[in-house]
Chains A and B, each alone.
Chain A
Amino acid sequence: MPESFQIDEQVGDGTRTILRVRGHLNAATTGQLLNHARSIRTRGQGLVLNLSQVSFIASSGVGALLALGEEYREVGLEVCYAELSSVVDSVIKLLNLDSFLTIAATEEEALRRAA
């Protein structure tokens, strides 16, 4: 049984909110992530997406990560993807998406980048 999908919201540095995602990121769960991330965008907050606990990412999950980056960029905000799990890391490497995503090794690094 796949572990349940969870999103934990953490206060970042005042300008960014941290979302920690856990579980499978597939067609059934990406909508939840997109909605949550979009609500943060409407508050004018940047986003740090901690993906260390993502145990599986399907193409729809990849699509969600790309779309979020574009949507934030359009309004002058940024999404930083931090602590990619090995699964996420493998798929991003496979598709050569690193040039389209802002990736940080740790949450702190992501926040420092924001500062």
Chain B
Amino acid sequence: MRRNEIDMANSRSQMRPDEGSGLGTLGQPGRSGPRWGMRWIVSAVAVGLTAAAVLGVGVFQERSTRRALTDELEARLLLEARNLSLASSSALLSDFPELTLHPLLKEKQARNPEFALLVVVDHESKIQGHPEFRRLGETLEVGGDCASYPSTQELDPGESFLQDDSHLLVVAPVEYQGQRIGTTAVGIERGYIDRIIREARLKLLVVLGAFLGLAVIVSFVTMTGLLSPIDDLRRGLERIGRGDLDHAIEVRGRTELGLLANTVNTMAAELKVAQEEMVEKERLAHELDLAREIQSRLLPHERRVTGPFVLDGSHQAAFEVGGDYYDYFSLSGGRTGIVVADVAGKGLAGCLVMSMLAALLKAYRDRYDSPKELLTQLDESLAPDLRPGAFVTMFYGILDESTGQICFASAGHMPTLVYRAEKGEVEEFRTRGIPLGAVRGGVVARTLHDETVQLGPGDLLIQYTDGINETLDVTGETQFEIEGMRTLLTKKSTLGPTAILDVFRDELETWRGGGPRQDDETLVALGWDASIPLTPPQTIPESREEAKVVPIDSALRPPSSTAPESERWLEFAEAQGDRIVLSSKVEAMGSIEPWLRRRADLEDLDGIHFDLLYTALYEACTNIAEHGYGHPNAEFVMWWLPERSRTNSLLGRFVLVDHGRAFSPDNWTASDFHDPMVRRRTRGFGLDIIHRVMCSVNYWPTTSRGNITVLAFDPTAVEIKEVRHA
């Protein structure tokens, strides 16, 4: 049974059997066992103390009363015996003493019924006086079988106190002129005193009972009054316990419980503040985790090897997520883009700017062959969205893999360091560009310049953020400085780009003396492996995707213009293509087949290739509907651009544009059907079909016109093996 003691006290009118004793259990989860109500405890203590006090007084008083009663009784017996002796003297001298003594004793006993014995005997021990007439004349040896009784009374000669099992008596002589002529005896039953004591004790018990009852009532009423604020406290604490920290406990009464209520109210208010701070901290921590995740996703996780060039990067995050960004990626024409940037400001804000920067870079990097122009474009796109005072320092370089030449521009970023293997020394390349977004109105563009650095075999180039050179030593006063980097590069560059990243990380750790990072540390290293020859220039620089696949035997090209290639294809398709509008639901893809069948230029296509073409387009469009949009309420468009090859066979391109969520076709690799896990996965083969049917797959995500996909179809390029039957 779980029950709160206060509840028990409140509901005393409905007590259960065990409640009569005040036994109960508090309703606290996880705590069991008996609990005692305070009201009951105090009442019980009051009763106990009252009872002990009254009983103690009673016992003491009983002893005193017994002593006093005994003394009084002895004195009275003695007095009575003496009086009786005096009264009996003249009677015993008469001829018929019994005529005088019998009425006298009868009357005396009537007046004093407690006297169990009243007797007068003469000198021959004959009873001359007795309350009962029939006892007259009997011989009585007064006190013959009694023992002496130790009395404190002063006795005259011949007097004595005697006792037997049931009586206490006084014997006094009756004298006449000095001669003893008889004896009187006055006695009472010994139980007489006990009866008086018992009566006194009974009265005491009645008084005790009255006091106890009064004590219970008074203590209970008093405690109920004193403890009544506990109910308010309990209710208030329960509300606070349920999370209502705005609840203020109002306690009636001016006892310490009122002070306790004030303390609880203060505690609740402080708890609320602490709770709000904790929630805010958790929210910030969550945002920080998100920012870290975003940052992590945007950074490359593998090194890039192209020809003799090895690119690798590292990012060591400080405790607080920063805005460092780096990337390297393939560009058309056998080129590699390298970017290192540092967003001023940390936390989620810095990370969001970094994300914007990464998205803009992806959108624009294929458009510009000049790093300066790309940085200018990024400045124009980014600056309006930056808050005042925010800016981005950025290095952007383009490596020509066929020559080892790097063309780069720097928007206020750290100098580029190049270790020259031939000389065994480090060169430093600075530009005068100012950070992106630092000044509005095209000023940044005027400060940017393209610079060119020619690398040689064995050379190693590094780019970095200021977290590297500004790393403070253990004293917190001395920075690592670019000079420290130069020294390290001079000593260790021959280890190669991947190893130099580890060297820097270890060296900076030592420099900090094991202390925490004050800033993100980002480092990108580009090395030229002298043992590998340069890659010859590529002749098909249309796009990196096209370079990977079988070139279509086509002269079809969109008209030249300054627009990016993807948008030129789209404009071309819009001007000359045959289109179908598809809603973004999988059921709508069935309309692709009749649309294809209505195309006169596809009439000559045999059944197998038609089926495969339809299947591939179905997969491409289903991908957009399912993964790009994920809902059925959007539309996207596909155009067909037919042509004839130089051998007059059918060719064509399908151009799709959608505004759904972009995906990363770069991550796609052909499914390895030899792997049983691949065969079990049931999905994910759509891109296999598309890539095997189409001889060219180009995808430009998030262009200014949307996601643009260009699929080149050449039936003669589709490889179909004969199926082996069992």
Q: Enumerate chain A interface residues (CB-CB to B < 8 A).
A: 1-2, 24, 26-28, 30, 34, 56-60, 62-64, 66-67, 69-71, 80, 84, 86-87, 89-100, 102-105, 109-110, 113
When distances are taken between beta carbons in the complex, the residues of chain A under 8 Å from B720 are 90, 93-94
Are A59 and B688 also in contact (CB < 8 A) when A92-B723, A98-B721 are? yes
Shortest Cβ distance from residue A35 to the other chain B in the assembled complex, whole angstroms: 12
When distances are taken between beta carbons in the complex, the residues of chain A under 8 Å from B686 are 58-59
When distances are taken between beta carbons in the complex, the residues of chain A under 8 Å from B264 are none
Q: Which residue of A lies closest to B685 (CB)?
A: A59
The count of residues in chain B whose C-beta lies closer than 8 Å to any C-beta of chain A is 37
CB <8 Å contact, B607 and A86: yes
**14 further A-B pairs in the complex, CB-CB below 8 A; given A87-B611, A103-B724:** A34-B682, A58-B622, A63-B681, A66-B679, A67-B680, A67-B681, A84-B723, A90-B720, A93-B723, A95-B688, A96-B673, A100-B673, A102-B726, A103-B725
CB <8 Å contact, A69 and B679: yes
12 contacts between A and B (CB under 8 A): A28-B587, A56-B614, A56-B615, A58-B619, A63-B681, A63-B683, A70-B680, A86-B608, A89-B608, A95-B692, A100-B673, A102-B726
Shortest Cβ distance from residue A47 to the other chain B in the assembled complex, whole angstroms: 14
A69 to B723, alpha carbons, bound, how many Å? 17
CB <8 Å contact, B676 and A70: yes
CB <8 Å contact, B679 and A67: yes
- Asked if B689 is an interface residue, CB under 8 A from chain A, the answer is yes
- Asked if B220 is an interface residue, CB under 8 A from chain A, the answer is no
- Asked if B684 is an interface residue, CB under 8 A from chain A, the answer is yes
Q: List B residues 587-618 near A (Cβ within 8 Å).
A: 587, 590, 593, 607-608, 611-612, 614-615, 618
- Of A27, A64, A80, A94, the most chain B CB neighbours within 10 A belong to A94
CB <8 Å contact, B680 and A98: no
A96 to B685, alpha carbons, bound, how many Å? 13
A102 to B726, alpha carbons, bound, how many Å? 6
A43 to B619, alpha carbons, bound, how many Å? 34
CB <8 Å contact, A103 and B611: no
When distances are taken between beta carbons in the complex, the residues of chain A under 8 Å from B676 are 70
Q: Which residue of A lies closest to B686 (CB)?
A: A59
A98 to B673, alpha carbons, bound, how many Å? 11
When distances are taken between beta carbons in the complex, the residues of chain B under 8 Å from A109 are 725-726
Q: Which of A63, A80, A91 contacts B726 (CB 8 A)?
A: A80
When distances are taken between beta carbons in the complex, the residues of chain A under 8 Å from B685 are 59-60, 62-63, 95
Q: List B residues 57-85 near A (Cβ within 8 Å).
A: none
Q: Which residue of B lies closest to A102 (CB)?
A: B726
A91 to B622, alpha carbons, bound, how many Å? 17
CB <8 Å contact, A66 and B724: no
Q: List B residues 619-646 near A (Cβ within 8 Å).
A: 619, 622, 626
A105 to B618, alpha carbons, bound, how many Å? 27
When distances are taken between beta carbons in the complex, the residues of chain A under 8 Å from B608 are 86, 89-90, 93
When distances are taken between beta carbons in the complex, the residues of chain B under 8 Å from A90 are 608, 611-612, 615, 720
- Asked if B586 is an interface residue, CB under 8 A from chain A, the answer is yes
Q: Which of B607, B612, B619 contacts A59 (CB 8 A)?
A: B619
When distances are taken between beta carbons in the complex, the residues of chain A under 8 Å from B684 are 59, 63
A105 to B725, alpha carbons, bound, how many Å? 7
Q: List B residues 329-387 near A (Cβ within 8 Å).
A: none
Shortest Cβ distance from residue A92 to the other chain B in the assembled complex, whole angstroms: 6
- Of B590, B607, B680, B692, the most chain A CB neighbours within 10 A belong to B680
When distances are taken between beta carbons in the complex, the residues of chain A under 8 Å from B680 are 66-67, 70-71
Shortest Cβ distance from residue A111 to the other chain B in the assembled complex, whole angstroms: 12
Q: Which residue of B lies closest to A1 (CB)?
A: B590
A34 to B683, alpha carbons, bound, how many Å? 13
Q: Which residue of A lies closest to B693 (CB)?
A: A94
When distances are taken between beta carbons in the complex, the residues of chain B under 8 Å from A89 are 608, 723
- Of A2, A27, A95, A100, the most chain B CB neighbours within 10 A belong to A95
Shortest Cβ distance from residue A16 to the other chain B in the assembled complex, whole angstroms: 13
- Asked if B722 is an interface residue, CB under 8 A from chain A, the answer is yes
CB <8 Å contact, B726 and A104: yes
When distances are taken between beta carbons in the complex, the residues of chain A under 8 Å from B683 are 27, 59-60, 63
Q: Which residue of B lies closest to A64 (CB)?
A: B682
When distances are taken between beta carbons in the complex, the residues of chain A under 8 Å from B615 are 56-58, 87, 90-91
Shortest Cβ distance from residue B719 to the other chain A in the assembled complex, whole angstroms: 8
When distances are taken between beta carbons in the complex, the residues of chain B under 8 Å from A63 are 681-685
A71 to B607, alpha carbons, bound, how many Å? 32
A11 to B79, alpha carbons, bound, how many Å? 135
Q: Which residue of A lies closest to B724 (CB)?
A: A98
Q: Which residue of A lies closest to B682 (CB)?
A: A63
- Asked if B439 is an interface residue, CB under 8 A from chain A, the answer is no
Shortest Cβ distance from residue A56 to the other chain B in the assembled complex, whole angstroms: 7
Are A91 and B723 also in contact (CB < 8 A) when A58-B618, A59-B683 are? no
A84 to B593, alpha carbons, bound, how many Å? 20
- Asked if B474 is an interface residue, CB under 8 A from chain A, the answer is no
- Asked if B718 is an interface residue, CB under 8 A from chain A, the answer is yes
Q: Which residue of A lies closest to B607 (CB)?
A: A86
Shortest Cβ distance from residue B626 to the other chain A in the assembled complex, whole angstroms: 8
When distances are taken between beta carbons in the complex, the residues of chain B under 8 Å from A113 are 726
Give me the 3 closest cross-chain CB pairs, A-B, nearest first. Answer: A63-B682, A59-B685, A59-B686
Shortest Cβ distance from residue B607 to the other chain A in the assembled complex, whole angstroms: 6
